Amino acid sequence: MSPAPVRGPEHLTLALPKGRVLAESAALLTQAGLPLELPGPSRALRHEFPGLTVLELRNQDVPVYVDLGVADFGIVGKDVLVESGRAVFEPVDLRFAACRLSLIREVGAAGPITRVATKYPRSARAYLAAQGIPAEIVKLSGNIELAALTGLADAVVDLVQTGGTLRANGLEERDVLFHSSARLVVNRTALKLRRERLRPLIERLRELVAAG
Ligand SMILES: Nc1ncnc2c1ncn2[C@@H]1O[C@H](COP(=O)(O)OP(=O)(O)OP(=O)(O)O)[C@@H](O)[C@H]1O
Ligand SMILES: O=P(O)(O)OC[C@H]1O[C@H](OP(=O)(O)OP(=O)(O)O)[C@H](O)[C@@H]1O
């Protein structure tokens, strides 16, 4: 493990997820005054700007980097944050990437739920326990809806936004576990050590979100 570079309190390290959250995060942070111009398609995983390092991560890794303090702050979906179980400070609901985590079955499916497929086992387990449903949970990595279509599972827990994926596949939403949107997350120690930069940034993001 190479030692982490020593950075002064004026330097910030930001964790951003690849994928659908990236572009809007970069646009919002630019509006908030960060010197952030991510390159187009590139294999680079770390980008350096004046006073700012940006790490490009998988969604699930953002809470890990922020909680362990390798990144001072980041942006990630509430769904991923809940699933991570990490108690990072979550000062701003950024409102974009809005969707919900739902229980889904084939249209008209009846009978008990005995096996549930999901990318969100922790959230699914908590929900099933609260409902008193003693189902097995199968962790999958993507295209979760296919598990209900193929009989791998008799229900799935997955994200719904427009409902287009459900309609296209003869599935229906039976319950909503919780609503999700992108969140600003901040390492608690960094908030103290780098407060002169992080506090104004949090305030600016709050204002931008409130202004819609
Ligand atoms: N259809 C959707 N509409 C709106 N927001 C969504 C939708 N699907 C996912 N999201 C939100 O955007 C986040 C990132 O989604 P994305 O599709 O980029 O991740 P992914 O490619 O499935 O994840 P990874 O490859 O990192 O496992 C999700 O965690 C969720 O908060
Ligand atoms: O209600 P909708 O508007 O159809 O959106 C929901 C779909 O969007 C996400 O998938 P995504 O397109 O990111 O593909 P993925 O399964 O590879 O994550 C999610 O997993 C659902 O499948």
Q: Which ligand is closest to the CA of 178, given by its number?
A: 1
Check residue 197 and give its pLDDT. 95
**Structure confidence at residue 41 (pLDDT):** 75
Task: Check pLDDT > 90 for residue 136.
Answer: yes
pLDDT at 119 over 70: yes
Q: Residues spanned by CATH 3.40.190.10 within the chain?
A: 12-97+181-210, 99-179
User: Does residue 58 have its Cβ closer than 6 Å to ligand 2?
Assistant: no
Tokens representing 186 are 């901040």
The finding on whether 189 has its CB within 6 A of some atom of ligand 2 is: no
CA of 19, closest atom in ligand 2: 13
Residue 145 contacts residue 102 (beta carbons within 8 Å): no
Rounded to two decimals, the ipTM of the complex is 0.96
37 vs 115 pLDDT, higher one: 115
Distance 208 CA to ligand 1 centre (A): 23
pLDDT score, position 157: 98
pLDDT in tens, 50-65: 999 999 999 999 999 9
pLDDT value at position 164? 98
The pairing of beta strand 115-118 with beta strand 136-139: parallel
The answer, yes or no, to whether any atom of ligand 1 lies below 6 A from the CB of 63, is no
* pLDDT reported for residue 159: 98
Q: In the predicted model, is pLDDT for residue 184 greater than 70? A: yes
CATH of region 12-97+181-210: 3.40.190.10
* Average pLDDT over all residues of the chain: 95
Please tell me the distance between residue 35's alpha carbon and the centre of ligand 2 in angstroms: 31
* pLDDT tens figures, 68-86: 999 999 999 999 999 999 9
- Rounded to the nearest whole angstrom, what is the distance from the C-alpha of residue 165 to the centroid of ligand 2? 7
Q: Looking at domain 99-179, which CATH architecture does it have?
A: 3-Layer(aba) Sandwich (3.40)
pLDDT at residue 148, rounded to an integer: 97
pLDDT band at 160 (very low <50, low <70, confident <90, very high): very high
Ligand nearest the Cα of residue 163 is: 2
What b/e readout covers 34-49, taking b as 16+ CB neighbours within 10 angstroms? bebebeeeeeeeebee
Q: 159 alpha carbon to ligand 2 midpoint, in Å? A: 6
pLDDT of residue 211: 96
Mean pLDDT lowest for which of 31-40, 81-90, 113-122, 199-208? Answer: 31-40
Grade residue 9 by pLDDT with cuts at 50, 70 and 90. Answer: confident
- DSSP string of 84-134, one letter each residue: HT---EEEEE---S-EEEEEEEETT--S---EEEES-HHHHHHHHHHHT--
